[in-house]
Structure 1
């Protein structure tokens, strides 16, 4: 790619927005040209507005960029990455799409829209063909594509290689990191020495999004996968990294070694995307892995680690929720858009 694509971030100062900055500051295909945030931040430099919280330095080439309002007339970009809260995204993202922007959204507002691609490149890259249908339906010059919920991504990447065994039902119990709620999302006195067995709307997302992701695009719409899903979601005192205990039932009743081999052999053939990890699924052989502190940064935070694959089939999956499960997922989607010539 000879000329970089101009990229903007909506909601650039928040936790996921900062991950977008980290991912895009020196990206080989995108040039970060606009950072948009609330009126409170607009007019300040990014270093002044962001209150940078990541454990890596604020990129020097981003620090002095002036933050602009979340307004298509103020944002200079070809594609915008949306880290907006869902209620804000619901009204803002269509305005950007109508004005010709490609919108790669991390928000939940349009994930289940009938003509909106919900995409994990390793799972369903062909669903991007819905973009033209969306533009025809809505009269937009641009479009919206979405990545799934953070816990859905971790689970669904591991479910894709199991589809060949006739996947019929999945039960999952999650242990989700506090960063998934944003910097101010969980008070310390609520989570220290505690587990919170409720995350609003999380279970609904995990029980619906995978059926769309694993469904078949028939040329006009998605035929959802016929899989029964049941989820129980819990917030635990871990900073980053969602851990999931998964029980999968398959028609062919594979042995644990068959499942392990399916994970080892999983090759989505997207190695030409810059953010793609060497291995989308990393199999841990140790009896006590994966663990978030030890494994969340595998593949620069883009790999999903699995282990404890047992009869049943039961296994543990773990992935970095704000990288693989959020900003990194949107950036990988955008790279796929580039590869397919849709930007």
Structure 2
């Protein structure tokens, strides 16, 4: 078993990490960190469990530690749910201390030597771990993309057999993407907020890196242009994205590409049977009906029309955050980087 920890274990994404790791067959969850006000107390006494998933009682007595490198000395791998302003320096210090970091924070996603990975899309980018080690880093950092980027990129992955260069996306993002205190009730009730800070820039830059080509030493950006418009909507979980791509192939061929898409992995515990599921009803996908497909790890695609136009949906705090990071760690472990 690999000893692992969660940084920022009491927050929205941190709780998802705890949920997914409490009974993990490969990883032993032994360290939970949080702010100074929670440090020194049992996790069960300080966490305000707000997920729809059952609370994992087995972590109740784990004593929360401060979020420091010293607190992680017994960990082989840590999962970071830290805010970006904290993650930037601390994740670097942790990796330099010889510990592997799988991060959900945005801080290092665009660093040239840090893999930005979706296992079904660009597993070869893990080769950048060797680049980090060649530069003297004892551990390494691997990141997962922004929640909307993951949903959109997975939805585009089956289309790589076709030629396209321009993608336009309009997101309808759930309030859980803003964290527990991220969206005030009086702002979101009966409302749509047509702005999420830095979200559009993340989507537009991250996809180009993820779908780029790794040449053994660096990632060459993909020759595509992405334009995004992001909106917060009164949905609890599940990001919905309307997508336009300049794919010329007929809809039937596009549907076949989705229906036959297979993950290159079948031995990863969190890997869903279908990474992408085609829903051929005219009114699907919908967050309430489809966000939990594949234990929240499946991206649903529907409403495929000439143009090419379609709708994609994914669970933002599972597939789009903690689950993405855990799946990355499973891939890293299976490739013997740990």
Match of 1:306, SS state, is strand
1:1-343 to 2 correspondences below 5 Å = 4-75=1-72, 76-137=74-135, 139-250=136-247, 253-343=248-338
Match of 1:26, SS state, is coil
Q: 1 CA distance for matches of 2:60 and 2:13? A: 17
Per-residue deviation, 1:73: 1.2
Q: TM-score, normalised by structure 2?
A: 0.99
Which consecutive segments of 4 or more residues in structure 1 shift more than 4 A? none
Deviation digits for residues 283-317 of structure 1 (CA, Å, limit 9, x no counterpart):
11111000000000000000000000000010000
Match of 2:232, SS state, is coil
Q: 2 CA distance for matches of 1:267 and 1:278? A: 9
Match of 2:246, SS state, is strand
How many residue pairs get aligned? The number is: 337
Q: 2 CA distance for matches of 1:89 and 1:324? A: 21
Q: 1 CA distance for matches of 2:213 and 2:53? A: 40
Q: 2 CA distance for matches of 1:134 and 1:226? A: 25
Q: TM-score, normalised by structure 1?
A: 0.97
Consecutive unaligned residues of structure 1, counting only runs of 5 or more, are: none
CA RMSD between the two structures: 0.7
Per-residue deviation, 1:135: 2.3
Q: 1 CA distance for matches of 2:158 and 2:302? A: 15
Q: 2 CA distance for matches of 1:227 and 1:311? A: 20
Deviation digits for residues 195-218 of structure 1 (CA, Å, limit 9, x no counterpart):
000000000011010111001100
Consecutive unaligned residues of structure 2, counting only runs of 5 or more, are: none
Per-residue deviation, 1:161: 1.2
Match of 2:70, SS state, is coil
> Which is worse superposed, 32-41 or 320-329?
32-41
Q: 1 CA distance for matches of 2:52 and 2:124? A: 36
Match of 2:121, SS state, is helix
Deviation digits for residues 163-204 of structure 1 (CA, Å, limit 9, x no counterpart):
110121100000000000000000000000000000000000
Q: 1 CA distance for matches of 2:243 and 2:309? A: 6
